[in-house]
Amino acid sequence: MKDYQTIAIAECFEPLIPIPLEKFVICQPHPYQNLGANYGGKSPYYLREGVIAALIKSAEKLHQKQPGWKIKIFDAYRPVEVQDFMVKYTFDRVIESQKLKSEDLSPQERDNIWQQVYQFWAIPSLDPRTPPPHSTGAAIDVTLVNERGQTIDMGSEIDELGARSHPDYYLSSNENRNQKYHERRSLLHEIMKTGGFSRHPGEWWHFSLGDQMWAKLLNFPTAYYGRIDE
């Protein structure tokens, strides 16, 4: 259990609805579907109704700050089954990157790799008290594109396991390029805060509103979005 999962959930039963994609840019094909994740034949581009309203507000703020720029949605609602798929996929990729074989891992080595995975991925829990953030329809992974439709370089890829994913990784760097990365991450944070979102402490791309992590970060006693099954 992660610390934010101690927050109680007072489910508000707000519906999960399609994101108005004409207002944003999306990844095509969807990155997890492209890997084989099964969304049950439905679009992954859904969020809670109130979260979509907040996201539109953030997009309007971005347009004020950088005319022509748009929010690019990497991932939104994620069924627990997809969370499970991606956790296992990431575990396999870590093994592969370290040139190991799953069948040769000691219990300690296996546990160490799971610890790496769960630093960035929520456990695919079916317990209604501890839902993965994306399975609530309240969390979203985003980046920015400029007026030419080019994805902005933020200094690391979304879902990258490692220190560069930390929002303030480049804060203290004196290199011009790294300062640019920090400015871009700060811009993304600013516009998402305008909508009421909170940023994941360890992931520059992950924002949520109304879920347990959001409540924990803002010192609220309860969340109002729990797991939703569609």
Residues with a catalytic annotation lie at 203
Q: Cis omega (within 30 of 0) on the bond before 18?
A: no
Reported for 125-132, long-range contacts at CB under 8 A and 24+ positions apart, including other chains, are 125/80, 126/80, 128/9, 128/226, 128/227, 129/5, 129/9, 130/1, 130/5, 131/9, 131/80, 131/211, 131/212, 131/226, 131/227, 132/78, 132/80, 132/83, 132/227
Angstrom distance (rounded) from CA 191 to CA 52: 14
